[in-house]
Structure 1
Amino acid sequence: MATAQVVRSEWTKVRSVQSTVWTLALTFVVTLAFGALISAVSNNQFGNLDRGDRLTFDPTAVSFAGVGLGELALIVFGVLVVSNEYSTGMIRTSLAAVPQRGTFYFSKIAVATLLAFVIGLVTSFLTYFLGQALLGDHRSHIGDPGVLRAVFGAALYMMLIAAFSMGAASMLRSPMLSLGILMPFFFLVSNILGSVSATKKVGQYLPDQAGRRITQVVFTNDDAPYGPWGGLGIMALWVVAALIGGYFLLKKRDA
């Protein structure tokens, strides 16, 4: 089967499964709604901040406060895209139709990653503009230094989260096992490691901790040895490692 046909087939699979469509919709809603809520609260409470906090206030990052929750829906999306076929047994049919496993695997990854990026791009721009509108006089502007990078970077971050989840799910194959590992890791373990002083230097190299720096414009009291693009690069290395691991295990194992 030609690569173009495989890509079309994977696109049909993604859009025809309601669970994947709903998780993308949830990503948009959660990120937008929580970002708007935090922006409105921040605007209301700005007068109560001390002088130091006002000087280091990052309105761009505030509008992206919902990304941390929205990424959980993207993790589910990435896992379902890959592991649904394993849980239903359709993987055998898919590999029989496309015996070139590399073509099958990377076509699936490419389609889902591109879709996640498009949804992420729409979400990040709408989240930013709504958040800044709710911040009123404390807002930033898209032309301010670092702001467009943060907005575009938020979309790249969301895309990479989905790609990492797909790589992990390809290695683990089971949707329950994949979600049972990824959800606690990103929602609890990573945040704890990044917050505790004894483990902070380790936590800052985890994919989400490093990658999320791309959504910041103001950096204060920061001892991280990399900038926003460096952080995204570290995250990209995690993603590449996960995708390569998934590919080699797909090549090695039976369906």
Structure 2
Amino acid sequence: MLRAEWTKIRTLRSTVITLALVFVIAVGLGVVSLTSVRIAFERGLPLVREDFEPVTDAMVSVLYAQLALAAFGVLVICGEYGGGMIRTSLTAVPSRGRFYAAKIAVCASVALVLSYATVFATFLTAHWTLGKYGPSWSSDGAIRVVLGTPLYLTLLCLFALGVGTLLRHTALALTVVLSFVFVLSPLATVVPGLREVAHYLPDQAGSSIVKVGQQADPVIGPWAGLLVLAAWTAVSLIGGYLVLRGRDA
């Protein structure tokens, strides 16, 4: 089953392209944005935010790349529903629990390996691009950010997988997942009465692992934030399993 799931991922153009975009966006956008930051520093231009933190800001491009990884999580399951392959898969593996567990395991493995490669490459690129203004391994929070950010990305990917299993429709699932990141979270942070809740939304809580210094979340700590995201992910995956078990393909 694990081999079959891996074969599906590496042979589908949509998933391969989406995974490639994760790395390209994180590293490529990082080089472009941080080059402008270095130029601003060197020329004394007042364009850099006052709470600039080399370690956290080095990961900004990764937080954009997370959208591609979330899309991958959705496509892992919704691609089968969209193409009708789900019937073949469930015929080959009648136990829906084993089928779902294999899909989660392979998705998590791919996301984790890619995330570590992407985060390490992004960090090293930031160090090279920013020069003396950039992060180093001895910077405050650097080790935690480099080791913890891939865990955040992987959990978010699995959260998207669970949402995709619940909804069984690529566009709808992507809309829901991206709405958390682009609409609900930003809106909650500026609306009075919702700001306290915003800290516990999936992406807000999980991304606290990336923030250090002045940008650190004053309400929820980095590892506590990951636990909150893990809880969201567990609920999403369990909900997906219940729907998968109870509905026809």
The TM-score with structure 1 as length reference comes to 0.90
CA distance in 2, matches of 1:178, 1:8: 26
Change (3 A) 1:10 1:84: same
Deviations 1:124-150 (A, max 9, x none): 001011112211212221133420110
Q: Which runs of 5+ in 1 are unaligned?
A: 1-5
- Displacement of 1:194: 2.4
Whether the aligned pair in 1 keeps the contact of 2:22 and 2:66 (CA below 8 Å) is yes
Whether the aligned pair in 1 keeps the contact of 2:81 and 2:169 (CA below 8 Å) is yes
Who is 1:230 aligned against?
Answer: 224
Who is 1:125 aligned against?
Answer: 120
Whether the aligned pair in 1 keeps the contact of 2:116 and 2:150 (CA below 8 Å) is yes
Whether the aligned pair in 1 keeps the contact of 2:27 and 2:118 (CA below 8 Å) is yes
| Pair 1:104-2:94 in alignment | no
Who is 2:233 aligned against?
Answer: 239
Give the secondary structure class of the aligned counterpart of 1:103.
helix
Q: Which amino acid aligns with 2:21?
A: L
- State the identity as a percent: 41
| Pair 1:80-2:75 in alignment | yes
Who is 1:253 aligned against?
Answer: 247
Whether the aligned pair in 1 keeps the contact of 2:208 and 2:217 (CA below 8 Å) is no
| Pair 1:95-2:90 in alignment | yes
- Displacement of 1:152: 1.5
Of 137, 140, 147, 2:135 maps to: 140
Range with bigger deviation, 162-171 or 136-145 = 136-145
Deviations 1:87-131 (A, max 9, x none): 122111111111111110010111011101111111000101111
Size of the aligned set, in residue pairs, is 247
Who is 2:203 aligned against?
Answer: 208
Coordinate RMSD, CA, aligned: 2.0
- Displacement of 1:84: 1.0
Q: Which runs of 5+ in 2 are unaligned?
A: none
Q: Which amino acid aligns with 1:229?
A: W
Change (3 A) 1:11 1:220: closer
